Structure 1
Amino acid sequence: MTGDAVADAARGNWVDRWAPPFVRPYARLARWDRPIGWWLLLWPCWWSVALADLAAGHALPNLWHLALMLVGAVAMRGAGCTYNDIVDRKIDAAVARTRSRPIPSGQVSARRAAVFLFVQAIVGLIVLLQFNRFAIVTGLCSLLVVAAYPFAKRVTDWPQAVLGLAFSWGGLMGWAVTFGRLDAPAFFLYGAAIAWTIGYDTIYAHQDREDDAIVGVRSTARLFGQRTKPWLAGLYAAAVILMGASFVMVDAGPFAFVGLAAFAVQLGWQIVRLDIDDPDLCLRLFKSNRTAGWMPFAGLLLDIVIRGL
């Protein structure tokens, strides 16, 4: 591991071990050393693609759409993190977990980070242009929320809700790509993803609760405090109910609901296990949402395949 490694990245990750030295600061800006972020951005996209394919009666999931969503999620998550690090560089320098990030630690300048941001955004735009006009406009509208997110923690106790609006946008995109419009199932899925995002990012924010209080950063972790578990129960219940409603609207089969039930159990396990005063546990529970995302997606895929037989 290198001496310029980022404190909140896993030790011995592939960027620290294998990436050329000149690439590492940019890989860290894009969080390529922490893939959990693009997984969490990807899941609403893939859920929406699968939900739309099921509603459309397709015999197989659209693999081309899934592949494009994957590339777009990696590119736009990296662009979003880079933008966030540029805006938050002074705050990051004051927080123990983030002061080793590339900009506050001096590994890369804000100007070079801005150039890298532009390159990633171009990749995301290329992906977006593969879709229909309605989906392109829908995707571009997300940039307003993305641009607002880094400033939300300065003005509201609910920055996680703003993150939810941005990170869940894929819940609309898969439907828009398939049908060229938005219908109720997509909006219900979007709402489910927002509630899920607020929940898991509250768990994540508990790692920085004390430092955030010192520097004046607001969060649902600070707002909920010792009431975090009941708040999570409500948010996660809303996510399951709204997702279930979207499944009912498309007449999903039994496998989708089995996947949804497994998703609900995994979210419940997070609440039971949570100790907000244990930062390492908070990080593990946050990361477990990558596994949680597979559950409803796998159920939807099985229903698509079974219907196609």
Structure 2
Amino acid sequence: MQSHVRGRPPAEVAVVIVAFNSGAWLDRAITRVLESTIPVSVIVSDNGSTDGSITRVRDCWGEDDRVRIIAHGRNLGFATAVNRAIEQSDEPTVLLLNPDCEVQPETIERVLDSLRGDVRAGMAGPRVCNPDGSEQAGCRRLDPTPQRALEWAFDRPLRWLGRIPQGFNLANHPLPPGPVSVEAISGAFMLVEREAIRRVGPMDEGYFLHGEDLDWCRRFRDAGYHVLFVPDAIATHAKGTSSRGRPVRTEWHKHRGMVRYYRKFSGSALPDRLALAAASTLVWAHFLLVLPRLLVARFRVPSRAAPPAE
């Protein structure tokens, strides 16, 4: 199934973009990907978009053999849409890219070189930045274990006791001089070896939205693979553009995914079970705390930011 025509080298990377009412961001993401310094193909796995974005993709790239659309007709969730696209590709590596994430021409090649340069690596990601150039939280991070979640919740009391909680995000740490193994990378850009996917398995479709990226990182590491953070490769992520119109639903799935993650990877010893119960309660308490703000946002006219002008 590789995109290949006479005179054009076969694609080295299948870029999977899960779309759901992604607007002009989707056009821009595809444009940037096709400017990459290595041959790539693009699979848009569409979860029932109704905003005309898929029509625009067909109009712009309908004759380009590098771009394909898989239309599901309804919202299957992120993990399921990813898995369906991976099943319909055969490139040696797969890149999961959010539709509001832009790459530079050399980004994919640099991350791919780092992935291939570490014989134990199964997954790699770049330095994902906010539009202002700052490193995005979650770009490189630790496992959000129940114990760490409790430390985060009780950050201030712990600091009063002279203990500094480690937290999850490493974005405020100095950048390493080169690629390093981390516990988890951003789901906005995940470059994965197909052979590693065969061994680890597809994304867990029990997650609908959020949590599946952390789950996959954990399973890759449990299988003995390195998850690499590549600091000299840059991607810019606008974050959340497809979910702004459904803030309550999005946050509910985010919190549900976190609880699923805790339950899936927590130990069976009594301290682990107690931490799991406490952290799960904390997650849902947090959801109830932010619910009023989400409801207000839900009944406002959605503000769907457009990409910056060229």
Q: Same fold (TM over 0.5)?
A: no
- Report the TM-score, using the length of structure 2 for normalisation: 0.30
- Report the TM-score, using the length of structure 1 for normalisation: 0.30
* Greater share of residues in helix: 1
